[in-house]
Amino acid sequence: MLSFSGSLRVFVALEPCDMRKGFSGLEALVTQRLKESVRGGALFLFTNKRRTRLKALYFDGTGLWLLNKRLEVGRFSWPVSTDPTAVKLRLRPEAFALLCDGVQMQGAKFLPWYEREP
């Protein structure tokens, strides 16, 4: 079972990447582009250019997890940095949950495509 603690470090790759990348390709992006260690206990998020897909890479101490989400409608509200040279942004675990649940980061409102079954 995969569970995250409140102290989880979450890093977002600001530039879109090729969603065909798997474990090795994303691990290389974390090491080379984000200058982080995959085995450091952080969760790393990646998206495509259209912001319709999200991949997460996470090392739980025993192995790597690769999680993938494809939206049927709409786009992820991907965070942006005020620093034009930044390649990554750190999110709080709560912001990660909001991002995955379709909440727009600015203003904390649900995106038009988001509708949860009652």
Q: How many domains does the chain have?
A: 1
SS in 3 state form for 98-114? HHHCCEECCCCEECCCC
The reply to whether 22 falls in a domain is yes
SS3 of 12, please? strand
Q: What pLDDT score was predicted for residue 106?
A: 63
* Residue 37 belongs to domain spanning: 9-110
Arithmetic mean of pLDDT, 65-72: 92
User: Residue 77 corresponds to which amino acid?
Assistant: S
Backbone φ and ψ for 26, nearest 5 degrees, come out as: -70, -35
Q: How far apart are CA 92 and CA 98, in angstroms?
A: 10
pLDDT band at 37 (very low <50, low <70, confident <90, very high): very high
Strand partners, 1: none
Instruction: Give the per-residue pLDDT at 18.
Output: 95
Tens digits of residue pLDDT in 13-31: 999 999 999 999 999 999 9
Residue 7 has pLDDT above 90, yes or no: no
Residue 4 lies in a domain: no
What's the pTM value of the predicted model, to 2 decimals?
0.84
- Residue 40 has a pLDDT of 92
In a domain, 117, yes or no: no
pLDDT band with cut points at 50, 70 and 90 for residue 111: low
Please check the confidence at residue 70 and state whether its pLDDT lies above 80. Answer: yes
Return the number of other C-beta atoms located less than 10 Å from residue 23's C-beta.
13
| Closest residue by Cα to residue 9 from 58, 31, 42, 38 | 42
Place of tokens 């390649």: 87
